[in-house]
């Protein structure tokens, strides 16, 4: 195959797109639609994300890409130039590849025009550029596959409309397969899950370059290109055996890629690859650890994705200790022996809903795993999601390596609280620690750390002396609430606990007042207007959204934490004091002494109010003290701050106290938040107009220049020939 012939055809095809209105119309429509999708949701989401595009672009390509591809071969047939092309020394594969590359360049221009979205977004938010590259790489490969399908459709017919419709049907089938997997019979689900573009696009568009996904797009693109070559070769009465052999090689490569693969995690925080702590834990096994995963083979497609992800991550663990880590998947479906084995291992059946015989049916099955290490055993009864799976697995491995459970003391003094308002958080703590109450006068022996939650009552001197003695013996966290804010009235009352006296030995003080912040968690409120109930989403400054963390093991990989009705610490940081703040409010925060926090009221900053950022959480590390102090305990109450980061933040503090910091790095990988900066209304309008109209205006301006240059050339040659 001659590459000079391929490139000549590619250049000719690319020029043809832009010497007619076709490319300009397609690109203008695409950019206007994607720009509108992007800007209509970005400020509602409030985060630096491309979700407004990714949720619609695959469907848009189903309509757009066939329009780009429909004329590639059909025009040659319609205008009678196909005979000249095929009787020339140029091979059919050179024609196909040249036309494909030329039209693929148009796809590249289309995606290049969308680059304005992340570039403009980077000025008002903190983007993960690895994720951005993954999004564009994924959609480029998807469009390339659709384009190859369109090229094949164009080789079948001489009518552009017919070519478009055939191509649309093929692309729409790839698009829809991922959506209808739950409705397919079990024996088809596996094969159709592989064919569906959603399965492979999802990984790449998250910023994970997986060899299996690349092989998928390359293989199906090659399939349609080979079929297109076969159609053209029929005119020349030649066989394209070599191309079909190449296609067979790709099919075999796909098979082996499912067993031997590699992935590149391009995200900035390596969200989809094992952390150093997990690798270290995997390497720590000196004896074989056996992992048995029990997953029913007739699970619905959405659950099979969990099984596939589990298999991938177990393979990654194994790659760091191949001799010791061994795993296998067992299918209990229709196998009484395996079902009995799973039940005896400590797994319980879970119920899942399937669609069968045109109705919903409830089935029992297994989605758990059991780990064996010598005479030790750990059971994960239900793998219900892929998020946080690395944390679950690594913490289970650590229990196998060190089965001794540390105990956390919940101090019951000064009217302090417990975990009754946060049962889910308590369950998460109990996965790795024992929890017992510790009352004044009791011995602190046998505990690894202690927590004091929201002391509210007056303190007796002997109880305070006992508590200060405990903090010198145990690493301790104190979660302070200066105000009690009922969620039904929002009228605050000051707690009776003397915080200054409580904190005096630690060298910190509390500011008088509550931190309010324009960077906050929005909440839903309802108003009764006559017979109607009106629901609104409003900003609520008392729910401070913290995104400013200093380097600390507690805040490692933390993107944000929501702290309700939080107080600020007055500290003097120095190496000798051992005091360091690790969580701060934003620069748009202020201190306020208000006692009414109704979400419907306007929170206006007083002229003389102290301005942030303020220290909201501090550590005190100075022998014999190891302490964490937070200006609120309300963030663990799920009825107030329903945010996944809240539990992670609390667990990080407990791990830091118990000096189990390895788990902190893993836990926070899935908690991501990249808020947008506050901008004026006029800046917001400019942002929207730039993203919607900049690329269309540039392409139309380029069209005018090309048209003008073409007209000047025609006039120049006209004068030459007339003379």
pLDDT of 67-100, one tens digit each? 999 988 888 888 777 777 666 677 888 888 999 9
pLDDT of residue 87: 67
Copy the structure tokens of residue 190. 């596996």
Q: For 35-60, give the DSSP string.
A: HHHHHHHHHHHTBS--HHHHTTHHHH
* Closest by CA position to 76, among listed 155, 2, 170: 155
* Closest by CA position to 546, among listed 571, 521, 526, 581: 521
Burial class (CB in 10 A: 0-12, 13-18, 19+), 57: buried
Contact 660, 394 (CB under 8 A): no
Report the percentage of the chain scoring pLDDT > 70.
91
User: Phi and psi at residue 662, in whole multiples of 5°?
Assistant: -60, -40
* Closest by CA position to 145, among listed 91, 214, 48: 214
pLDDT tier for residue 573 given thresholds of 50, 70 and 90:
low
Q: What is the pLDDT of residues 188-242, one digit of tens each?
A: 766 777 788 887 887 787 788 888 888 889 999 999 998 888 887 766 666 666 7
Copy the structure tokens of residue 61. 């390509």
Handedness of CA 644, 646, 648, 651 (dihedral sign): negative
Contact 560, 676 (CB under 8 A): no
Q: How far apart are CA 620 and CA 627, in angstroms?
A: 5
pLDDT higher than 70, residue 624:
yes
Contact 487, 525 (CB under 8 A): no
Copy the structure tokens of residue 409. 């003391």
Report the percentage of the chain scoring pLDDT > 90.
33
Contact 62, 168 (CB under 8 A): yes
Q: How far apart are CA 661 and CA 180, in angstroms?
A: 43
Q: How far apart are CA 621 and CA 625, in angstroms?
A: 6
Burial class (CB in 10 A: 0-12, 13-18, 19+), 363: middle
**Buried b or exposed e, range 84-109, using 16+ CB within 10 angstroms:** eebeeebbbbbbbbbbbbbbbebbeb
pLDDT tier for residue 52 given thresholds of 50, 70 and 90:
confident
More confident residue, 59 or 45: 59
Q: What is the pLDDT of residues 290-343, one digit of tens each?
A: 999 998 877 776 677 788 888 888 988 998 998 899 999 998 888 889 899 988
pLDDT of residue 385: 79
Residue span(s) of the chain under CATH 3.40.50 come to 409-511+551-587+613-670
pLDDT of residue 714: 66
How, if at all, do strands 483-484 and 493-494 pair?
A: antiparallel
Q: How far apart are CA 550 and CA 571, in angstroms?
A: 15
Domain 276-398 sits in CATH at 3.40.30.10
Q: For 322-352, give the DSSP string.
A: TTTEEEEEE--TT-HHHHHHHHHTT---EEE
Q: What is the pLDDT of residues 421-473, one digit of tens each?
A: 888 888 888 888 889 999 998 998 989 999 999 999 999 999 999 999 999 99
* Closest by CA position to 630, among listed 534, 561, 538, 578: 561
Cα distances from 120 to residues 42, 353, 687, in angstroms, run: 12, 44, 7
* Closest by CA position to 517, among listed 539, 536, 493: 539
Residue span(s) of the chain under CATH 3.40.30.10 come to 276-398
Copy the structure tokens of residue 548. 């400013």
Which helix (H) or strand (E) segment is 210 a member of?
A: strand 208-210
Burial class (CB in 10 A: 0-12, 13-18, 19+), 383: buried
Copy the structure tokens of residue 717. 């040659």
User: Could you say which of 3.40.50, 1.10.357, 3.40.720, 2.60.40 is the CATH number of the domain covering 409-511+551-587+613-670?
Assistant: 3.40.50
Copy the structure tokens of residue 89. 């020394």
pLDDT higher than 90, residue 391:
no
Burial class (CB in 10 A: 0-12, 13-18, 19+), 507: middle
Q: How far apart are CA 545 and CA 412, in angstroms?
A: 29
pLDDT tier for residue 673 given thresholds of 50, 70 and 90:
low
Q: How far apart are CA 244 and CA 259, in angstroms?
A: 24
pLDDT higher than 60, residue 378:
yes
Q: For 627-688, give the DSSP string.
A: EEEES-SGGG-TTT---HHHHHHHHHHHHHHTT-THHHHHHGGG----BPPP--HHHHHHHH
Q: How far apart are CA 605 and CA 611, in angstroms?
A: 9
> Which parts of 440-595 fold into alpha helices (H)?
461-473, 499-503
Query: Mean pLDDT, the chain, as a whole number?
Result: 85
Handedness of CA 18, 21, 24, 30 (dihedral sign): negative
Burial class (CB in 10 A: 0-12, 13-18, 19+), 70: buried
Contact 429, 435 (CB under 8 A): yes
Q: How far apart are CA 202 and CA 464, in angstroms?
A: 55
Copy the structure tokens of residue 448. 């690894």
Mean pLDDT throughout 371-390? 87
**Which residue carries 């289970």 as its tokens?**
396
* Closest by CA position to 517, among listed 612, 387, 397: 612
Torsion of CA 566, 568, 574, 576, to 10 degrees: -70
Copy the structure tokens of residue 399. 């229990």
Helix 21-45 × helix 57-69 angle, to 10°: 180
pLDDT higher than 80, residue 556:
no
pLDDT tier for residue 663 given thresholds of 50, 70 and 90:
confident
Q: How far apart are CA 248 and CA 228, in angstroms?
A: 16
Cβ partners under 8 Å of residue 604, min gap 6: none
């Amino acid at each position: 195959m001659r590459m000079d012939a391929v490139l000549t055809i590619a250049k000719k095809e690319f020029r043809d797109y832009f010497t007619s209105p076709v490319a300009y119309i397609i690109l203008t429509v695409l950019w206007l639609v994607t720009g509108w999708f992007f800007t209509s949701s970005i400020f509602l989401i409030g985060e630096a994300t491309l979700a407004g595009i990714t949720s619609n672009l695959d469907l848009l390509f189903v309509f757009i890409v066939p329009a780009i591809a429909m004329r590639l071969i059909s025009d040659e047939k319609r205008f009678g130039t196909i005979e000249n092309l095929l009787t020339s020394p140029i091979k059919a594969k050179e024609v196909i590849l040249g036309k494909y590359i030329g039209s693929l360049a148009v796809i590249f221009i289309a995606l290049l025009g969308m680059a304005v979205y992340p570039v403009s977004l980077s000025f008002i938010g903190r983007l993960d550029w690895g994720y951005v590259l993954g999004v564009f790489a994924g959609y480029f490969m998807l469009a390339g596959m659709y384009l190859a399908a369109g090229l094949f459709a164009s080789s079948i017919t001489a009518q552009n409309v017919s070519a478009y419709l055939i191509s649309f049907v093929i692309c729409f089938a790839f698009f829809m397969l991922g959506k209808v997997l739950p409705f397919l019979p079990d024996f088809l689900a596996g094969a159709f899950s592989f064919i569906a573009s959603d399965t492979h696009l999802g990984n790449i568009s998250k910023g994970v370059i997986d060899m299996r996904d690349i092989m998928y797009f390359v293989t199906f693109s090659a399939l349609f290109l080979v079929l297109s070559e076969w159609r053209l070769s029929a005119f020349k009465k030649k066989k394209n055996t070599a191309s079909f052999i190449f296609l067979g090689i790709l099919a075999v490569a796909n098979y082996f890629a499912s067993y031997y693969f590699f992935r590149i995690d391009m995200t900035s925080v390596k969200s989809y690859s094992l952390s150093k702590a997990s690798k270290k834990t995997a390497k720590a096994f000196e004896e074989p650890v056996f992992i048995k995963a029990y997953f029913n083979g007739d699970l619905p497609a959405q659950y099979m994705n969990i099984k596939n992800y589990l298999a991938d991550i177990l393979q990654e663990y194994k790659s760091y200790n191949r001799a010791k880590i061994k795993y296998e998947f067992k299918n209990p479906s229709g196998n009484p022996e395996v079902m009995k084995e799973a039940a005896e291992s400590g797994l319980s059946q879970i119920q899942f809903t399937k669609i069968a015989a045109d109705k919903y049916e409830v089935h029992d099955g297994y989605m758990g795993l059991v780990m064996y290490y010598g005479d030790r055993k750990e059971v994960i009864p239900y793998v219900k999601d892929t998020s946080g799976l690395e944390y679950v697995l690594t913490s289970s491995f650590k229990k196998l390596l060190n089965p001794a459970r540390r105990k956390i003391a919940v101090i019951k003094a000064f009217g302090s609280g417990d975990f009754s308002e946060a049962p889910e958080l308590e369950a998460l703590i109990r996965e790795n620690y024992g929890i017992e109450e510790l009352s004044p006068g009791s011995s602190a022996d046998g505990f690894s750390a202690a927590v004091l939650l929201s002391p509210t009552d007056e303190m007796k001197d002997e109880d305070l002396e006992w508590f200060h003695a405990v903090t010198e013996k145990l690493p301790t966290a104190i979660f302070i609430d200066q105000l009690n804010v009922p969620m039904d009235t929002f009228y605050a009352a000051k707690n009776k606990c003397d915080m200054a006296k409580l904190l005096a030995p630690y060298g910190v003080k509390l500011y008088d007042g509550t931190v309010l912040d324009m960077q906050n968690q929005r909440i839903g409120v309802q108003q009764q207007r006559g017979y109607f109930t009106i629901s609104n989403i409003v900003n609520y400054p008392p729910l401070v959204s913290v995104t400013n963390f200093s380097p600390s093991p507690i805040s490692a990989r933390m993107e944000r934490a929501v702290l309700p009705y939080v107080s600020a610490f007055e500290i003097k940081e120095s190496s000798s004091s051992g005091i360091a703040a690790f969580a701060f409010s934003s620069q748009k925060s202020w201190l306020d002494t208000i006692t009414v926090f109704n979400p419907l009221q306007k929170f206006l900053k007083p002229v003389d109010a102290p301005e942030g950022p303020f220290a909201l959480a501090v550590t005190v590390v100075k022998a014999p003290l190891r302490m964490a102090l937070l200006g609120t305990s309300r963030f663990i109450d799920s009825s107030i701050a329903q945010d996944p980061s809240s539990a992670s933040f609390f667990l990080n503090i407990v791990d830091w106290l118990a000096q189990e910091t390895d788990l902190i790095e893993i836990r926070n990988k899935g908690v991501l938040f990249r808020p947008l900066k506050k901008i004026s209304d006029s800046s917001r309008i400019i942002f929207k107009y730039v993203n919607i109209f900049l690329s269309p205006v540039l392409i139309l301006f380029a069209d005018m220049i090309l048209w003008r240059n073409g007209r000047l050339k025609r006039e120049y040659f006209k004068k030459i020939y007339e003379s």
